[in-house]
Amino acid sequence: MIGLKRGTVALIEHQREWEIEAKNTINILKNILGDVICNIDHVGSTAIKTIKAKPIVDIAIAVDDFNAVLDKKEQLKNAGFYYRPNSDLGEQLLFACGSLYEGTGDLQTHFIHIVKKDSMDWINYINFRDYLNKNPNIAKQYETLKLSLAAKAPKDNGREMYLKGKHDFITHTLRKALVKSYLGKKVNIKIDRPIGYVHYKENYSLTYPINYGYIPGVFGGDGEELDVYLLGVDKPVNEYNARIIGIVHRENDVEDKLIAAPDGVIFNQAQIAENIHFQEKYYKTYIEAIYQRSCGVIVFRTVNGKREYLCLLQNLSGTYSVPKGHLEAFESEKDCALRELFEETGIKVKLIDGFKKEINYVFHTSSGEKNKTVALFLAEYNGELNIDHNEIVGYQWLNSKMAKQILPNGCSKVIDDVEMFLCPTI
């Protein structure tokens, strides 16, 4: 099914027909507009595969020159694309299809959004679609909101109420989609607050110990150009080309920040937090980093002359691991390991001197590839546990052979290192 009466709000299950129709429409538009098109893609809810949508196909076209499109207005009309000069879409051109515009009925079937190349309009169309396709849980939240709004909307004139109801969700989603789209990418940064710059606030002043700037022409959640902290450059600069290695998610503000560093320079989440603490201490933040560092403890006990290892069943992943967690700013690795052990099991131990092993692995998220290093220490404990059931479902004490079978590969290899360290083997 494609097409909906103007002003009506109705949502149906995603259909393969929409994808086919979008491809056919794109081909027709390419034939008409040719080199005028810089980029063209299927966008909107019909391009999000896991949610219900209004059966109207949205196509976004990026161009250098609006006049070049308007010069082909008659050709577009002859192919069924009708120019809508009084649309409320701002710096865009809108063409529409359907029997409503042909004068033979009341259906709208397609909207063609003409935007400027590299504009925020183009960026937002693509980011919104990609972000929801990569994050089905957030897409489902969007669907739930839309269904709720659709149920409340008047049958024939509920469009305005429906659009207003989605506004806050879309604004927040675009904010997150924007910053996540830059993870791992190289960007040109304009530095407007170099090292040593003093920023005078109403009640205090900030002296910048690092370079701080923005990506020109890209606008963040506050309507200003998207800010970037530049790490790993120890002298003031005016501009810099660097790779985005992290995001500062601000929970009590309308904007987020990016973290950049020169190629090959690594900062983990704790190091990032330490470098930006001078400003971010005034906000509640969460740092998403490409390079992550965690610390933990291999805990063993001795029962009837046999060594057993503590294996925790994680609530979130449903898999076994050892006590461990993210390193925090201004925290030593040993302090982190002991803190995580206490938070997860309620026990306090003394780490055994001379043992530390690191494991490294790569994992994939909706934001892309992440790299994690885990530093593992060693401790013996023979008492009772007080498990935090918010994080840990349960636990087992297992001999080395059994522990290696259920622990992740990296941790299981460390068990062998522990056995060698504690020689002679019991």
Residue 87: per-residue pLDDT: 67
> What's the CA gap between 346 and 310, in Å, rounded?
13
- Interval 236-263: pLDDT, tens: 999 999 999 999 999 999 999 999 999 9
Comparing C-alpha atoms, which of 370, 381, 206 is closest to residue 281? Answer: 206
The answer to whether 216 touches 271, Cβ cutoff 8 Å, is no
What are 144's two structure tokens? 């739930």
Residue 254: per-residue pLDDT: 95
Residue 351 pLDDT exceeds 90:
yes
- Interval 75-109: pLDDT, tens: 999 999 999 987 666 689 999 999 999 999 999 99
**Average pLDDT of the residues of the chain:** 94
Residue 160: per-residue pLDDT: 75
Mean pLDDT of 278-305: 96
Q: What is the DSSP letter of 12?
A: B
Residue 286 pLDDT exceeds 90:
yes
Comparing C-alpha atoms, which of 87, 88, 93, 86 is closest to residue 69? Answer: 93
Domains, in order of start, for the chain? 4-181 (3.30.460.10), 186-289 (3.90.80.10), 291-421 (3.90.79.10)
> What's the CA gap between 316 and 153, in Å, rounded?
38
Residue 146: per-residue pLDDT: 92
Residue 154: per-residue pLDDT: 63
Give percent above pLDDT 90 in the chain: 85
Query: How far is residue 5 from each of residues 43, 56, 102, 110, measured CA to CA in Å?
Result: 20, 10, 13, 12
Residue-by-residue DSSP string for 228-278: EEE-S--S--SEEEEEEEEEEEETTSS--EEEEE-TT----HHHHHHHHHH
Residue 166, Cβ density class (10 Å: 0-12 exposed, 13-18 middle, ≥19 buried): middle
Count CA within 13 A, CB hemisphere, residue 385: 23
Residue 88: per-residue pLDDT: 66
Residue-by-residue DSSP string for 356-424: -EEEEEEEEETTEEEEEEEEEEEEE--S-----TTTEEEEEEE-HHHHHHHS-HHHHHHHHHHHHHTPS
Residue 161: per-residue pLDDT: 78
> What's the CA gap between 137 and 131, in Å, rounded?
11
Question: What is the reported pTM?
Answer: 0.91
What are 214's two structure tokens? 């923005």
- Interval 172-230: pLDDT, tens: 999 999 999 999 999 999 999 999 999 988 888 899 999 999 999 999 999 999 999 99
Report helix angle 136-152 to 120-134, nearest 10.
Answer: 110
Comparing C-alpha atoms, which of 326, 330, 352 is closest to residue 339? Answer: 326
Residue 303 pLDDT exceeds 80:
yes
